[in-house]
Amino acid sequence: MALEATSSDLTASERVSAFAPEQSLLVACLLSMSGGFIDAFTWLSLGGVFANSQTGNVVFLGMYAALGQWQEAARHVPPILAFLIGASVAIRLRAPLLCLAGEIISLAAVMLLLHRLPGPLAIIAMSFGVALQTASFRQVERWKYVSVTVTGNLLRAVEQLMSTTDAEAGRGARTMLTVCLMFLFGAVAGAFVTVRLAANSLALPLALLMAALWFCCRHRCLRHDT
């Protein structure tokens, strides 16, 4: 029995290591923390719009339109369109690390130029960059996830908890819940830091994204060398 358990553990470990680095739990956590932070930042700094959460933008767009507040409704249209364009570019490129670098460049530009950019242009740049990353990183180990929201990830966690046929359902549920928790931590950090550092607070999600990019590049280089 002990030998069988050891063999099973090794098999599970081998399956995890077989995934590309961009599908690792570490990268998913870094991207999710960045996602939560960016939504808190844009909500507080750019007038109540979201770069990540297009669900929130759609809700506010519909609500303000129904109330006849067309100027408020219009503020939620640019990030939605920018996200759609960014996702289209990422799907066409099929180059996750290049798209992640694109998000880093977009955020860095906003951080350096925020006080010179009109609000709509800043949110467009951020939503475009976020979409590049979101459309490129959609799997953590063998499970699908989204790094800029928690609804779908919570649903997948429940599905895994209720599964009676998947031998790794417990691991899947823990993975999804961990990703959701990282998004929450990112949002908390985003609110706390943004009110104190304003545009400079974007240095934190930039650091998270750069760490994810470094991790992926490093592991790809190591695999290439071996």
In whole angstroms, what is the distance from residue 73 CA to residue 67 CA?
Answer: 9
In whole angstroms, what is the distance from residue 146 CA to residue 135 CA?
Answer: 9
Instruction: Identify the pLDDT of residue 20.
Output: 86
Specify whether the CB–CB gap between 175 and 16 falls below 8 A. Answer: no
Instruction: Identify the pLDDT of residue 42.
Output: 95
Instruction: Identify the pLDDT of residue 14.
Output: 45
Q: How do 139-140 and 143-144 pair as beta strands?
A: antiparallel
- Ramachandran category for residue 71: left, alpha or beta (phi over 0 → left; psi -120 to 50 → alpha): alpha
| Residues in Cβ contact with 92 at an 8 Å cutoff, skipping those fewer than 6 apart | none
pLDDT average per 10 residues of sequence, the chain (226 residues): 42 54 96 97 93 94 97 96 97 96 96 86 95 96 93 95 89 96 97 95 97 92 68
Specify whether the CB–CB gap between 51 and 25 falls below 8 A. Answer: no
